[in-house]
């Protein structure tokens, strides 16, 4: 292709020798370069402004090349939202509800709790049959339905809006995760305790509730004053400690009550020096350790996050810490809840949970779920999250059978049993809940079909347009002796992209020029 200036000279060279009255149609075609050969496909990077027959710049390569059906629509494949076989279901983050999602996944994988919730009944559920409509209203009913969806939904992730709304949570503000856990379990305990089935009445206590006593001993007379208390989790100070054992030991250590902090002894009828310690009396089947990463900073008068590395074992023997030791007290790690971020007031929560059926570990990050390779917990990626340089500390080496984390804020241990009856770990969703799940699955399938039809319509329209453009390209440029029309390049580009969105060609400017030259 000749340079643009050369084409310009060749097009108007005749004007120096031809008088105006002698100008012919051939001269006009020379001026407008009608006879210049079209550029070959792929030879130009952009449309040649000096050649009206160059089509490369108006999409020749894309329109005449290989067909890419994805170019004809902007609709994602609905099957990308479909749950794969033998995978778990995620939960949508509604804004700042990742802390809720982590606990929901941990509780869902507590099979005893899930079974109890499926057996939960109320006046509406008792009088309802599978042929009538049923919609969850109470918090317990919403949790039932949510667990049923997590078990049998066709979706890759589900929306927990119903439960979150029933709880009255602000989706735009991150709440205290530990406080949410305690309040929610307390609410479930209160609700289930009113059930007629005795197996449901005590399920929260059996699963999560342990007992200890604050025991004060008078140094003068030796009188013991126990103050019993219950707990859903043991709150452990991590500052200055390297491992879980040190944290538990400090929690149970003896405290001296002296000076202004003397203890009033009922036997002595006076204030006396004394010692106080916590005695663990019973442990639940699920033992939660709350690592106190968020502490009050006196200098700033705000909470701050401790990035202390803490190591913890896969198998934990609580025997040395338990008074009496009449029960099985060997526990196995079943979940680790992680807080990403350097601030105590923000950040992101995820959960690592062990599947009770296969013992495989999974990472639950709202909608995204990742299965860990092998059957071992892997926290390396979570510990590599970039934080401030000040908070960066070297990760200590972990012994075999131990894990180490500076972001773990709750550790969940399940009591070990000698034998596990697999028939008790597999159970059906109640019929009235399954009906709700089936209805949601039907809506999902209808949506998938609708999106697939829209994609097909867009692709069919795009292919038809593609064929139309290919036919047009066969007509461009014009051949010798055939009539032709001038079409503005910008108009032609828009027409090729979308023939329904462009306006008619406005030739008034050219007509005015023609009238002015007469």
Hey, which residues are catalytic here? Answer: 98, 348
**DSSP-assigned letters across all residues of 259-273:** GGG-EEETTTTEEE-
- How far apart CA 80 and CA 113 sit, in angstroms, is 31
DSSP 318: -
Residue pointed to by tokens 């029960």: 327
Tell me the three state secondary structure of residue 224.
strand
**Which residues have a Cβ under 8 Å from the Cβ of 369 and sit 6 or more positions away?**
87, 88, 89, 90, 362, 363
- How far apart CA 212 and CA 227 sit, in angstroms, is 8
Q: What is the CA angle 156-157-158, rounded to 5? A: 135
**Which residues have a Cβ under 8 Å from the Cβ of 48 and sit 6 or more positions away?**
1, 4, 39, 54, 56, 57
Token readout for 278 is 């916590």
Tell me the three state secondary structure of residue 366.
coil
Please tell me the chain's helix, strand, coil percentages from 3-state DSSP, rounded to the nearest 5: 40, 20, 40
- How far apart CA 135 and CA 123 sit, in angstroms, is 13
Q: What is the CA angle 91-411-175, rounded to 5? A: 50
CA nearest 312: which of 327, 296, 328, 290?
290
> Judging by DSSP bridges, how do beta strands 274-282 and 255-257 pair with one another?
antiparallel
- How far apart CA 372 and CA 403 sit, in angstroms, is 15
Cis amide leading into 241 (omega within 30): no
- How far apart CA 113 and CA 208 sit, in angstroms, is 10
Residue pointed to by tokens 């803490």: 310
Beta carbons of 185 and 412 less than 8 angstroms apart: no
């Amino acid at each position: 292709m000749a340079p643009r200036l050369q084409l310009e000279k060749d097009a108007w060279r005749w004007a120096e020798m031809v008088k105006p009255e002698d100008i012919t149609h051939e001269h006009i075609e020379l001026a407008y370069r009608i006879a210049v050969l079209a550029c070959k496909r792929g030879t130009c990077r952009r449309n040649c402004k000096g050649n009206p027959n160059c089509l490369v710049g108006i999409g020749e390569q894309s329109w005449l090349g290989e067909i890419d059906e994805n170019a004809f629509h902007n609709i994602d494949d609905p099957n990308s939202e479909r749950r794969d076989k033998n995978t778990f279901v995620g939960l949508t983050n509604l804004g700042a509800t990742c802390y809720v999602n982590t606990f929901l996944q941990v509780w869902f994988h507590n099979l005893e709790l899930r079974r109890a919730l499926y057996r939960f009944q109320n006046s509406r559920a008792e009088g309802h049959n599978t042929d009538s409509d049923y919609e969850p209203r109470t918090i317990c009913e919403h949790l039932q339905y949510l667990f049923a969806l997590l078990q049998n939904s066709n979706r890759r992730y589900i929306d927990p809006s119903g439960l979150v709304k029933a709880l009255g949570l602000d989706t735009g503000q991150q709440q205290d995760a530990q406080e949410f856990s305690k309040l929610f379990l307390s609410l479930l305990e209160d609700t289930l305790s009113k059930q007629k089935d005795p197996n449901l009445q005590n399920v929260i206590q059996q699963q999560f509730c342990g007992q200890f006593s604050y025991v004060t001993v008078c140094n003068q007379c030796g009188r013991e004053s126990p103050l019993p208390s219950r707990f859903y989790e043991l709150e452990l100070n991590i500052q200055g400690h390297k491992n879980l054992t040190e944290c538990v030991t400090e929690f149970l250590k003896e405290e001296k009550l002296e000076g202004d902090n003397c203890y009033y002894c009922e036997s002595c009828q006076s204030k006396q020096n004394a010692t106080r310690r916590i005695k663990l009396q019973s442990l639940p089947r699920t033992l939660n350790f709350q690592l106190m990463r968020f502490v009050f900073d006196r200098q700033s008068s705000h909470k701050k996050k401790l990035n202390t590395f803490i190591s913890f074992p896969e198998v934990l023997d609580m025997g040395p810490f338990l008074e009496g030791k009449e029960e099985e007290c060997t526990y196995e790690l079943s979940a680790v809840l992680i807080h990403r971020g350097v601030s105590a007031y923000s950040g992101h929560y995820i959960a690592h949970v062990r599947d009770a059926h296969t013992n495989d570990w999974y990472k639950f990050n709202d909608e995204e779920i990742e299965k860990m390779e092998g059957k071992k917990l892997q926290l390396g990626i979570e510990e590599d999250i970039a934080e401030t340089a000040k908070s960066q500390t070297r990760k200590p080496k972990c012994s075999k059978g131990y894990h180490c984390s500076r972001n773990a804020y709750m550790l969940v241990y399940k009591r070990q049993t000698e034998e596990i009856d697999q028939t008790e770990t597999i159970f059906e969703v109640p019929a009235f809940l399954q009906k709700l799940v089936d209805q949601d699955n039907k809506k999902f399938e209808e949506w998938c079909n609708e999106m697939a039809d829209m994609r097909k319509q867009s692709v069919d329209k795009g292919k038809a347009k593609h064929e139309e453009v290919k036919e047009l390209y066969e007509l461009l440029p014009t051949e010798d002796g055939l009539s032709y029309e001038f079409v503005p390049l910008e108009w032609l580009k828009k027409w090729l992209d979308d023939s329904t969105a462009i306006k008619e060609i406005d030739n008034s400017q050219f007509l005015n020029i023609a009238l002015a030259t007469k």
